[in-house]
Amino acid sequence: MTQHQRMIYLDDALALPGCPVCRMTLQRVAQTLASIEAELVLDPTWREQVDSAWGFCNLHAQQWLDQAQPLSTAIIYEAVLGRITRQLEQRLPSRAGPGNVRSRIAGMRSGGAQREVLVAPGVCPLCRTRDEQERQIVAHLLRELKSDVMRTRYAASDGLCVVHLDLALATSPEPEVLDALRTRLVERHEVLRSELRDVIRTHDYRFRDAEAGPQWNAIAGAVRHVAGSPGIDGRRARPDRGD
């Protein structure tokens, strides 16, 4: 976790490779993960958020397993398993008398909500941090881009990934900010497409299992530019998502 301990600010993120919003958001998610772990036993609010979400979504559960201590993980998941067991027992009592069985069958036949055995868990606390942070960081970037100095710095950076550009466009940025975003994106796409065309032109199936080196970097760079860095959920981040 040491790489996440120092807070990354916009200036730092613009000087580093990749989308600055992806980088800053993922760092804040890693920090939240560390604070959940540190305050878990002491802070009942965190406990309730984590327990009611059944721990974490698939992506963040893997991240938690990679980064958290086994003791914290055991504490969380012991409680989560207890909560799920209680829900299951409430919905499907194991020692049902004849009356209970009848009402249970009637409930199942009625369809709709009755078919849903378990109550849906709450939002993963790390997804919530990610969603809040990426919106705040995009808003901060757009405010900063009103200055010429920051627009010059942005022009020299890798710029936003498509996921975060989409989020930025949804806030109707001012014309000069919009122009800076658009120019950088078009330039970046030219570079990425040229790298991909090189890969396509020089690709040799005989070496398909070999380490691709710079070619692989070009491919991974293009995928991350469109989908966001690993840990970003582009479809969820879309402002018009239908939930």
Residues at the site binding Zn ion, with contacts judged by CB under 5 A: 19, 21-22, 57, 60, 124, 126-127, 161, 164, 228
Closest approach, Cβ 167 to Zn ion, in A, equals 8
Closer CB to Zn ion, 191 or 212, in the complex: 191
Candidates 219, 216, 214, 235; CA nearest to 162 is 235
Residue nearer to Zn ion on the CB measure, 173 or 228: 228
In contact, 52 and 121? CB cutoff 8 Å: yes
Least distance (Å) from Zn ion to the CB of residue 119? 18
**Torsion sign, CA atoms 82, 84, 88, 91:** positive
For the chain, the straight-line distance linking the first and the last C-alpha, in angstroms and rounded, comes to 33
Nearer to Zn ion by C-beta: 62 or 90?
62
Please report the sign of the dihedral spanned by the C-alpha atoms of residue 171, residue 172, residue 177, residue 180.
Answer: positive
CB neighbourhood size of 216 (10 A): 12
Ranges of H-type helices in 40-174: 44-52, 58-67, 70-91, 98-109, 125-144, 148-156, 162-169
In the complex with Zn ion, the residue whose CB is nearer, 19 or 50, is 19
Residue 56 Cβ vs Zn ion, minimum distance, rounded to whole Å = 5
Q: Which is nearer to Zn ion, 61 or 199 (CB)?
A: 61
